[in-house]
Amino acid sequence: MSRDAVVVGAGLAGSLTAVYLARRGFGVRVLERRGDPRAPGVREEGRSINLGLSQRGIVALREVGLLERLAPLTVPMRGRVVHLADGTLRFQPYGLAEDQILHSVLRHDLNVALVDEAERLGVEFSWGHRVTAVDRAEPAVTTDDGTSHTADLVIGADGAFSAVRAHLGRGLRVDLHQEFLEWGYKELLIPVGDDGGPRTELRALHVWPGDDGLIVAHPNADGSLTATVFLPFDGEHGFAGLTEPERVRSFFARRFPDTLVLIPDVVEQFLAHPPASLVTVRTSPWHVSTDEGRGVVLIGDAAHAVYPFFGQGMNAAFEDCSVLDRCLAAHPHDLPRALAEFEGSRRPHTDVLAELSKRNFVELRDKLRSPLFTARKKVDLALHRVFPNAWVPLYTLITHTTVPYGEALARARRQDRVLGGVTAALTGAALAGLTRRSRNKGRWS
């Protein structure tokens, strides 16, 4: 029995799920509001942000046989380089194991590779068509050219402000939690040096921490890096106050002094574009089924947009595609059951991820300067080195494993309770000794 799927959104989640569906025998059409990302000029105009591919994303790409092909487009990140305000650099390796490496990749390159692969498998793409209605009873999707696309399975992979989600929920008891961070971001390019080589360590994630502003930079394959500056929207030292070139220059000189060297035109770049905002979205239900065994389901940011501070947005979306595919495989003749199982098994974990991503923002912003917090993190890592399997820090569980998010949190909480006892039991002298010993080996997280 041949089945049809319509996927709304040809971004990362949409194009990967199209690949999975095509491999499972679905006839797949993808509807995308934007134009074809492979058209000339798109790369320069599009979102240039690059991403850190970690274990969950890697596993999904390996499942569809794309990992090897993507390797040349990625730059391995073997640790973090922390840039302190006094100019000091500190390198913190992620781990010795080969699977504890992040891979930096341009969103655009990854997207093009996924679209190419989907097309190779027979997926049809309709570019430049906006969704104007979703009829969940069919289900069918109508686009702004008046065409109606009926399918056995409709997938909403159309991002944090999903049109499919909005249409799907009309008249239903839909829970929706949408929260914006009081901080926004701008992207700045750290260009290659005059000698054609990178201006700083390339094989690392760079972080400028701080409670009044943060920068995170990912390396690109051409030797440049893309830096994302996170600042409050409001206030004198927020985006609202930083509109004059002189104020911008003195702000960067004071807070992120080495950026003036790494980004010669930092002021011009900073002032060229308005800041973008950061949103968390949680919603339920994710799916609606029909009595005839068809259905609509949300995946990726449409189902659960998270702040980027745990680096899990794309990785969680890719894991969605993998989990959904396993549910479809488990119930090949019962789509409603597959969708119910997908939502039932997946949503609790992405709800946890949303909370963790908020918490990690607070950690990056406020807690790094708390001596007790830093000491606990270091004890945490020291225990991981002594008991690599029995004791795994939360960051490692989230980033370098595929342990479901909720289980990762539960395990970390059990460890935390022990750790609370450990740090409480350590007297000042003992704590100082332990943290001194682990300082050079510790990594910042």
Does 276 bind a copy of itself (CB under 8 A)? Our answer is no
Residue 370 interacting with a copy of itself (CB under 8 A) = no
Which residues, including other chains, have CB under 8 Å from residue 418's CB and lie 6 or more apart? none
Rounded least distance, CB 245 to a copy of itself, Å:
24
Interface stretch with a copy of itself, choices 86-94, 171-179, 386-394, 420-428 (CB under 8 A): 171-179
Closer to a copy of itself by CB, 150 or 178: give it. 178
Question: Which one of 45, 86, 175, 195 is in contact with a copy of itself (CB under 8 A)?
Answer: 175
Q: Which is nearer to a copy of itself, 233 or 373 (CB)?
A: 233
From the list 47, 62, 120, 177, which residue makes contact with a copy of itself (rule: CB under 8 A)? Answer: 177
Residues 299 and 154: their CA atoms lie apart, in Å, by 11
CB of 180 or CB of 387, closer to a copy of itself: 180
Q: Which is nearer to a copy of itself, 125 or 183 (CB)?
A: 183
**Residues 371-375: contacts with CB within 8 Å, 24+ apart?**
372/423, 374/435, 375/423, 375/431, 375/435
Local structure of 251: helix, strand or coil: helix
- Give exposure, 147-175, as e/b (b: 16+ Cβ within 10 Å): eebebbbbbbbbbbebbbbbbbbeeeeee
DSSP 23-55: HTT-EEEEEESS--TTSTTHHHHS---EEEE-H
Exposure string over 208-247, b if 16+ CB within 10 A, otherwise e: bbbeebbbbbbbbeebbbbbbbbbbeeeebbbebbeeeee
Is there binding between residue 174 and a copy of itself (CB under 8 A)?
Answer: yes
* Phi, psi of 401, rounded to the nearest 5 degrees: -135, 175
Of 107-115, 170-178, 239-247, 331-339, the window that binds a copy of itself (rule: CB under 8 A) is: 170-178
Amino acid, res. 260:
L
Furthest C-alpha separation in the chain:
73
Positions 72 through 111 that interact with a copy of itself (CB under 8 A) = none
Of 71, 84, 133, 176, the one binding a copy of itself by CB under 8 A? 176
Q: Least distance from C-beta 175 to a copy of itself, angstroms? A: 5
Q: Rounded to whole angstroms, how far apart are CA atoms 419 and 413?
A: 9
Work out which of 137, 180, 254, 362 binds a copy of itself, going by CB under 8 A.
180
Number of residues lying near a copy of itself (CB under 8 A)? 11
Query: How many residues would you count in the chain?
Result: 445
Task: Work out how close the CB of 48 gets to a copy of itself at its nearest, in angstroms, rounded to a whole number.
Answer: 22
Which ranges of 275-370 does DSSP label H, i.e. alpha helix? 301-304, 313-330, 335-365
**Residue 36 sits in the site that holds a copy of itself (CB under 8 A):** no
Please state whether beta strands 75-77 and 102-106 pair in parallel, antiparallel, or not at all (unpaired): antiparallel
Q: How far is the CB of 211 from a copy of itself (least distance, A)?
A: 21
- Work out which of 277, 332, 366, 388 binds a copy of itself, going by CB under 8 A: 277
Do residues 21 and 28 make contact, with C-beta atoms less than 8 angstroms apart?
yes
Q: Judged by CB under 8 A, does residue 274 bind a copy of itself?
A: no
Q: Which of residues 279 and 434 has its CB atom nearest to a copy of itself in the complex?
A: 279
Whether the CB-CB separation of 168 and 298 falls below 8 Å is answered with: yes
Sheet holding 4-8, edge to edge: 124-127, 27-32, 4-8, 153-156, 295-298, 287-289
Cβ proximity to a copy of itself: between 111 and 289 the closer is 289
**Residue 312 to residue 440: CA distance in whole angstroms:** 27
The only residue of 36, 179, 244, 292 in contact with a copy of itself, by rule CB under 8 A: 179
Q: Is 234 in the site for a copy of itself (CB under 8 A)?
A: no
Stretch that binds a copy of itself, among 48-56, 136-144, 176-184, 191-199 (CB under 8 A): 176-184
Residue 173 binds a copy of itself (CB under 8 A): yes
Q: How far apart are CA 291 and CA 285, in angstroms?
A: 17
Site residues, a copy of itself (CB under 8 A)? 173-180, 233, 277, 279
